[in-house]
Amino acid sequence: MDDGKLIEMAFQGRKRAYAPYSRFFVGAALLCEDGSVFLGCNIENASYPAGNCAERTAVFHAVSEGKRRLKAIAIVGGREGQDMDYCPPCGICRQVLREFCDPSRFMVILAKSKSEYQKFTLDQLLPHSFGPENL
């Protein structure tokens, strides 16, 4: 799947976000190694710590469907009514992604639009990470 299609799907996920408190809407499209794609959105809660990020929503959805090998994720986000900006995953999301991929090959795509984006390996965003092989 090309980057543009994955970004387009992340924008679809963003439309499903539930962010009545921050008004910061995030969408993610997670590509598994078998070609399947899982969407995620951020889901806020009046009890703030009970909310969930778009990236983890996508990962948890994939894992709940039996997928364990991840290839890439596209992430889009920004405040309602404002221009999009690059929206990197938080530290917890980076660690969750790390559980199910080779961080030197897993691609993280941060997009403002289908044509304006940046790509990083998870290793670049989470250097010296701790993974299953460390146990």
Largest CA distance in the chain: 45
> Which residue out of 8, 55, 65, 99 is catalytically annotated?
55
Does residue 55 carry a catalytic annotation?
Answer: yes
Q: Residue 110: is it exposed, middle or buried by C-beta count within 10 angstroms (0-12/13-18/19+)? A: buried
Question: How far is Cα 92 from Cα 90, in angstroms, rounded to an integer?
Answer: 6
Nearest to 97 by CA among 25, 35, 40: 40
* Catalytic residue annotation: 55
